[in-house]
Amino acid sequence: MTINVDFPGEVPDKPEGLTPAQRREWDLIVQDLNDAGTLKHCDRAVLIQYIAAWRACESAQETLEREGYTFTTPTATKAHPAGDIAVRFSRICIDCLNALGLTPAGRRRLRLADRKPVNAKLERFLAGSGTKHIASTPKPRRRARKVAEAVTDDE
């Protein structure tokens, strides 16, 4: 049995059958990951998904530029279906880029995952597990309650 160990800087194989534009995009993304020191062979599946979504989005954008953003039927003017396709695949692209740490949110997530908590109690609070302490407010003191009742009774 062979175990494949991932080392930073290990460039995953480029898939066959990519268009020249897809090869350029692959090279750009791989270079960015390599420069950041986060490139691993196991990133290949996300890279492939990104390239496929990127190409579908690019194709939908080309269709919109060629055919227009709307079309007219006998009863109404409607949005071109390629617009929805472009939006759907651009979201997939962003999700892939986030997973690879190539967006501001993705980089922040990776930095937070790599650092060790300095103060575990503060970290739990910031992560949301400490919010119950803020949400629970102490019951008003008996004296304050009597004063409040007296004020409302006088009116």
Per-residue pLDDT tens digits for 68-122:
999 999 999 999 999 999 999 999 999 999 999 888 888 888 776 655 555 666 6
State pTM to two decimals.
Answer: 0.64
SS3 78: strand
Please indicate, yes or no, whether residues 60 and 30 belong to a single structural domain of this protein: yes
For helices 20-36 and 44-67, angle between their N-to-C axes, nearest 10 degrees: 140
Per residue in 46-73, pLDDT (tens digit) is: 999 999 999 999 999 999 999 999 999 9
Please indicate, yes or no, whether residues 2 and 66 belong to a single structural domain of this protein: yes
The residues, ordered by sequence, that sit 6+ positions from 94 with a Cβ below 8 Å of its Cβ are 103
Please indicate, yes or no, whether residues 64 and 18 belong to a single structural domain of this protein: yes
Q: Which domain holds residue 146?
A: 124-155
Please indicate, yes or no, whether residues 55 and 31 belong to a single structural domain of this protein: yes
Please indicate, yes or no, whether residues 110 and 51 belong to a single structural domain of this protein: yes
136, pLDDT greater than 90 = no
The residue type at 107: R
Total structural domains in the chain? Answer: 2
Contact 41, 12 (CB under 8 A): yes
